[in-house]
């Protein structure tokens, strides 16, 4: 069957585990038999800058970046960065966001304020919207650092990929020590 | 056959392994760094960091002259450093195959310019291959070695950020068998480029380019696909992927070899399409050559000379030029002004205090390439120039020669340990030799931090993690002729301030080495995290002194405790470096748990 390309964006702040989450996604799509490409810019952005990771899968994928205005699913690790990236999405796209703020430098210095009501503003533009307390669920799974896997689980609800494939992808990409916590975090996200 | 998802850099490393490479050398530079970091997965390859790109290429040249296949990897600006040996290597040719990977950075995600390395292949008269995804990164690396030996030439591979850091599926293969064993063979007529010998080689280089162009006409990595004949597009590398996405009906001539161009193939393609375009990132490299062939072609009048392309940008450009009708309306970006999120030095960074002091001292800071370039950012605002690796010291040395004495005293060069060893040593030698009265701060954090913590000749370890002799930086500076070399702990603000004041006042060249490991160095006790700090909000007067260092762990809470607001420290981020504590005049910052 010819499957058109699905465009997924993962956005947040350097250091939040976006790279790993996008690699687990890509691995799952390959294991499920699709062509997959992913891309993100690292380098300077690792020093606390904005990060946008693009993951695309389907029967045949050309560009490793999602064309502007064609994103199907956005996977937000942080509210402000999610809001900043909405123009990458197509109308009606699905947005799953961690209810979490990381103040940027000007806000830390008290020169600017962190915008209020971002979740509501995102919801107003995209009705397929889900706000998740990733940190709380990750803590429930055993480690607050697994918030990225909770989100991954939440997004997995909307992707037609079998459970066993997710399990295999997690086993391959997550360090052994952290696997049980991440498997649990994934399930908590998935059952939201 | 097994498949894996690999980045372009991982796939180039895999390609080098499958090609039977013996020696690999590089200097780290985004986006090329991970090639060598992945090559060490293959123990059959002798891989190492060189102090700079010129040395890396020369190491590869040596291995090649000895008969082994060799690879040198660098970012685009690194090729400038390696250009000297490259141009003569074009004349000598190779023993074992030699490949130079240059990773360009269109859009300057982590670079100081966006030069187009294709010009180097033309300038040095050597072939260049350009892969379009990870599978091609692996395949083209193997092919590049074959081409190198077949045509007795170094071969460049051009990657770009999207190819190097993008990931896609790769089929793994087996390493080649039956390559000749390296051994010493004397051939001075070919390898000693004195004028008499070089004059003999130059015509061979020119003939080689002609033969390569003809080879390219029928080489399968140059591929024409005729879809609709209305529009034919010549494209290479990641741009091919963007074109397929943005203009799926267009005929494409995808060039795997971007220099020399396969002229007959281009003529044939041009004849079969109604209108010919070149879509290329950065320079009109192909367009100008096609135009010079007398073929009508459209390129840069539609596609920008600046920045990275994308399917959207290509579609937008073609629609603006009236070539296609617009099909997708991009969503509007947020209308309100959002606080930007620029990169910042890490909490606990040993450079932060130094930049705070330079800012307070009203120094004129000549900067360099590394994490410390971020000292430019507010609130530190402590960098006034930044040109290229190693230039901070020579720029300082030059600027003081033009200035009156009272202005000279303000000039301070900052350079990291890795950058100092890269090309700073030469510059410091010059400064000492000519007694330029500027102050140099070597920000020694024991690692090449900006590119992701690579070892260097001063760090005590090699690429593969084996212990290595450490360059003694203060002793080296003295040997170069610097009489005043001071070493200071940058976490001790008062000591650092007084050393800086003394050395800046001195009418002679001087060096201050600030010595603290990067807080991201892993393991071996090289960085010790201290207990975190907290703000005693009763003692905090809201003076904001602690904010001046711009630490990401300190947040200003405007609404806390009355009209002025107070500072707060994030215990998850704080490393306990105490810089903020030293700036607090009201004794409001303490070790968490109440101890001072």
Summarised one tens digit per residue, pLDDT across range B527-547 is 777 889 999 999 999 999 999
Instruction: State residue B79 phi and psi, 5-degree precision.
Output: -65, -30
Among A12-21, B31-40, B236-245, the range scoring the smallest mean pLDDT is A12-21
Segment B54-63 shows an average pLDDT of 98
Segment B75-90 shows an average pLDDT of 98
The whole-number pLDDT of residue A65 equals: 95
Which of A69, A91, A105 shows the shortest C-beta gap to B342?
A: A105
Residue B160 has pLDDT above 70, yes or no: yes
Residue B63 has pLDDT above 90, yes or no: yes
The helix/strand/coil state of B550 is coil
The helix/strand/coil state of B477 is helix
Contacts of residue B112, Cβ cutoff 8 Å, sequence gap at least 6 = B77, B369, B386, B387, B388
Q: How far is B565 from chain A (nearest CA, A)?
A: 9
Which of B339, B374, B558 shows the shortest C-beta gap to A106?
A: B339
- What are the DSSP E strand ranges found in B403-495? 411-416, 439-444, 484-488
Segment B282-308 shows an average pLDDT of 98
Tell me the pLDDT tens digit for each residue of B349-359.
999 999 999 99
CA distance A156 to B304: 39
Segment B410-426 shows an average pLDDT of 98
- Cα angle B292-B298-B300, degrees, rounded to a multiple of 5: 95
Q: Do B556 and A41 make contact, defined as CB atoms within 8 angstroms?
A: no
Tell me the pLDDT tens digit for each residue of B580-592.
999 999 999 999 8
User: Is B374 touching A (CB cutoff 8 A)?
Assistant: yes
Q: How far is A154 from chain B (nearest CA, A)?
A: 23
Residues 122-181 of A with CB under 8 A from B: none
Q: How far is B180 from chain A (nearest CA, A)?
A: 37
In which band, very low, low, confident or very high, does the pLDDT at A34 lie, cut at 50, 70 and 90?
very high
Residues on chain A touching B558 (C-beta within 8 angstroms): 110, 113
Residue A45 has pLDDT above 60, yes or no: no
pTM tops 0.90: yes
Q: How far is B341 from chain A (nearest CA, A)?
A: 5
In which band, very low, low, confident or very high, does the pLDDT at B330 lie, cut at 50, 70 and 90?
low
User: Is A78 touching B (CB cutoff 8 A)?
Assistant: no
The whole-number pLDDT of residue B473 equals: 98
User: Is B169 touching A (CB cutoff 8 A)?
Assistant: yes
Residues 438-477 of B with CB under 8 A from A: 450-452
Nearest C-alpha in A relative to B31: A43
Q: In what order do the strands lie in the sheet with A35-40?
A: A129-132, A89-98, A71-76, A6-13, A50-58, A35-40, B167-171, B3-7
The whole-number pLDDT of residue A130 equals: 96
Segment B500-512 shows an average pLDDT of 97
CB count in 10 Å sphere of residue B442: 27
Tell me the pLDDT tens digit for each residue of B83-130.
999 999 999 999 999 999 999 999 999 999 999 999 999 999 999 999
Nearest C-alpha in A relative to B329: A69
The whole-number pLDDT of residue B1 equals: 74
Q: Which residues of B6-42 are buried (b: 16+ CB within 10 A; e: fewer)?
A: bbbbbbbbbbbbbbbbbbbbbbbbbbbbbbbbbbbeb
- What are the DSSP E strand ranges found in B267-384? 275-278, 364-367
In which band, very low, low, confident or very high, does the pLDDT at A42 lie, cut at 50, 70 and 90?
low
% of chain B at pLDDT higher than 70: 98
The whole-number pLDDT of residue B525 equals: 58
Q: How far is A180 from chain B (nearest CA, A)?
A: 23
Give the position of tokens 């617009």. B326
Helical spans, DSSP H, in B296-435 = 311-320, 352-360, 391-402, 405-408, 417-419, 425-433
Residue B524 has pLDDT above 60, yes or no: no
Q: Do B5 and A36 make contact, defined as CB atoms within 8 angstroms?
A: yes
User: Is A15 touching B (CB cutoff 8 A)?
Assistant: no
The whole-number pLDDT of residue B326 equals: 78
Q: Do A105 and B565 make contact, defined as CB atoms within 8 angstroms?
A: no
Q: Do A83 and B340 make contact, defined as CB atoms within 8 angstroms?
A: no
CA distance A135 to A139: 6
Residue B595 has pLDDT above 60, yes or no: no
Segment A85-107 shows an average pLDDT of 95
Among B327-331, B337-341, B538-542, the range scoring the smallest mean pLDDT is B327-331
Nearest C-alpha in B relative to A44: B110
Query: What does the longest C-alpha to C-alpha distance in chain B come to?
Result: 83
The whole-number pLDDT of residue A49 equals: 87
Q: How far is B338 from chain A (nearest CA, A)?
A: 7
Q: Which residues of B521-551 are buried (b: 16+ CB within 10 A; e: fewer)?
A: beeeebbeeeebbbbeeeebebebebbbbbb
Residues 67-106 of B with CB under 8 A from A: none
Angle, helices A147-156/A18-31, rounded to nearest 10 degrees: 40
Q: Which residues of A80-119 are buried (b: 16+ CB within 10 A; e: fewer)?
A: bbbbbbbebbbeebbbbbbebebbbbbbbbbebebbeebb
The DSSP 8-state label assigned to residue A176 in this structure reads: G
Task: Report CA-CA distances (Å) from A27 to A151, A170, A181.
Answer: 16, 9, 19
Chain centroid to CA B386: 15
Task: Give the closest residue to B349 by CA, choosing from B445, B459, B448.
Answer: B445
Chain centroid to CA B369: 9
- Which ipTM did the prediction report? 0.95
Tell me the pLDDT tens digit for each residue of B260-283.
999 999 999 999 999 999 999 999
The whole-number pLDDT of residue A46 equals: 62
Task: For residue B224, list its beta bridge partners.
Answer: B253
Residues 340-369 of B with CB under 8 A from A: 340-346
The whole-number pLDDT of residue A43 equals: 58
Residues on chain A touching B334 (C-beta within 8 angstroms): 83-84, 86-87
Residues on chain A touching B550 (C-beta within 8 angstroms): 105, 108-109
Residues on chain B touching A117 (C-beta within 8 angstroms): none
Dihedral, CA of residue B589, residue B449, residue B462 and residue B177, to nearest 10: 140
The length of chain A is: 192
Which of B312, B332, B377 shows the shortest C-beta gap to A67?
A: B312
Whole-angstrom Cα Rg for chain A: 16
User: Is A27 touching B (CB cutoff 8 A)?
Assistant: yes
The whole-number pLDDT of residue B336 equals: 87
Segment B292-308 shows an average pLDDT of 98
Tell me the pLDDT tens digit for each residue of B40-49.
999 999 999 9
Residue A13 has pLDDT above 70, yes or no: yes
Which of B245, B343, B345 shows the shortest C-beta gap to A62?
A: B245
CB–CB of B253/B227 below 8 Å? no
């Amino acid at each position: 069957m010819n499957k058109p390309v699905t465009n997924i964006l993962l956005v947040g702040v350097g250091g939040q585990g976006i790279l790993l989450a996008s690699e687990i996604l890509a691995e799952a799509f390959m294991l499920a038999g699709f062509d997959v490409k992913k891309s993100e810019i690292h380098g300077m952005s690792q020093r606390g800058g904005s990060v946008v990771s693009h993951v695309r899968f389907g029967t045949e994928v050309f560009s490793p970046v999602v064309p502007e205005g064609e994103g199907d699913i956005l996977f937000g690790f942080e509210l402000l960065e999610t809001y900043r990236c909405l123009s990458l999405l197509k109308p009606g796209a699905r947005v799953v966001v961690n209810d979490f703020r990381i103040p940027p430098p000007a806000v830390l210095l008290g020169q600017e304020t962190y915008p209020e009501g971002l979740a509501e503003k995102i919801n107003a533009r995209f009705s397929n919207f889900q706000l998740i307390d990733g940190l709380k669920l990750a803590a429930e799974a055993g480690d607050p650092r697994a918030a990225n896997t909770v989100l991954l689980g939440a997004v997995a609800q909307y992707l037609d990929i079998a459970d066993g494939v997710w399990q295999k992808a997690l086993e391959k990409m997550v360090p052994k020590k952290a696997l049980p916590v991440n498997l649990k975090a994934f399930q908590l996200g998935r059952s939201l | 056959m097994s498949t894996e998802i690999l980045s372009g850099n991982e796939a180039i490393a895999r390609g080098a392994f499958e090609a039977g490479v013996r020696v690999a050398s590089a200097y780290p530079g985004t986006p090329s760094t991970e090639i060598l970091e992945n090559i060490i997965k293959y123990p059959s390859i002798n891989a190492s960091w060189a102090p700079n790109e010129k040395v890396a290429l020369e190491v590869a040249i040596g291995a090649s002259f000895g008969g082994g296949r060799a690879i040198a990897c660098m970012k685009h600006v690194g090729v400038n450093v390696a250009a000297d040996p490259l141009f003569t290597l074009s004349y000598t040719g190779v023993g074992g195959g030699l490949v130079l990977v240059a990773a360009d950075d269109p859009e300057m995600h982590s670079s100081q310019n966006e030069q187009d390395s294709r010009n180097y292949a033309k300038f040095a008269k050597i072939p260049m291959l350009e892969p379009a995804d990870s599978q091609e990164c692996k395949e083209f690396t193997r092919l590049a070695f074959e081409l190198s030996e077949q045509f007795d030439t170094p071969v460049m591979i051009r990657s770009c950020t999207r190819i190097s850091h993008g990931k896609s599926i790769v089929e793994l293969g087996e390493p080649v068998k039956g390559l000749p064993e390296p051994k010493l063979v004397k051939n001075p007529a070919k390898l000693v480029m004195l004028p008499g010998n070089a004059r003999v080689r130059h015509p061979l280089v020119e003939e080689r380019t002609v033969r390569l162009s003809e080879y390219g006409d029928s080489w399968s990595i140059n591929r024409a696909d005729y879809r609709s004949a209305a529009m034919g597009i010549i494209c290479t590398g990641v741009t091919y992927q963007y074109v397929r996405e943005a203009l799926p009906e267009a005929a494409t001539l995808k060039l795997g070899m971007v220099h020399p161009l396969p002229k007959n193939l281009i003529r044939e393609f041009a004849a079969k399409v109604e209108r010919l375009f070149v879509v290329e990132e950065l320079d009109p490299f192909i367009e100008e050559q096609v135009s010079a062939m007398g073929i009508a072609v459209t390129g840069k009048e539609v596609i920008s000379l600046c920045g990275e392309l994308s399917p959207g940008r290509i579609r937008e450009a073609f629609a603006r030029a009236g070539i296609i009708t617009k099909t997708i309306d991009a969503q509007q970006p947020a209308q309100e002004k959002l606080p930007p999120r620029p990169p910042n030095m890490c909490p606990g960074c040993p450079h932060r205090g130094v930049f705070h002091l330079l800012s307070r001292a009203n120094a004129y800071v000549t900067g360099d390439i590394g994490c410390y370039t971020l000292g430019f950012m507010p609130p530190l605002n402590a960098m006034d120039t930044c040109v290229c690796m190693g230039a901070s010291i020579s720029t300082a040395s030059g600027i003081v020669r033009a200035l009156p004495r009272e202005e000279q005293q303000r000039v301070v060069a900052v350079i990291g340990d890795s950058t100092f060893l890269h090309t700073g040593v030469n510059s410091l030698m010059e400064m000492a030799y000519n007694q330029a009265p500027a102050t140099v701060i070597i920000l020694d954090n024991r690692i090449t931090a900006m590119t992701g913590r690579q070892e260097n000749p001063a760090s005590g370890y090699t690429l593969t993690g084996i212990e290595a002799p450490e360059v003694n930086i203060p002793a080296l500076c003295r040997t170069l002729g610097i009489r005043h070399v001071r070493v200071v702990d940058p976490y001790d603000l008062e000591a650092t301030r007084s050393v800086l004041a003394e050395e800046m006042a001195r009418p002679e060249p001087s060096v201050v080495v600030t010595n603290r490991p990067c807080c991201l160095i892993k393991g071996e006790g090289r960085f010790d995290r201290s207990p975190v700090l907290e703000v005693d909000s009763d003692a905090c007067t809201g003076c904001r002194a602690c904010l001046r260092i711009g630490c990401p762990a300190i947040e200003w809470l405007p609404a806390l405790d009355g009209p002025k607001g107070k500072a707060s420290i994030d215990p998850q981020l704080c490393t306990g470096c105490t810089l903020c504590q030293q700036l607090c005049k009201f004794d409001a910052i303490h070790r968490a748990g109440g101890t001072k």
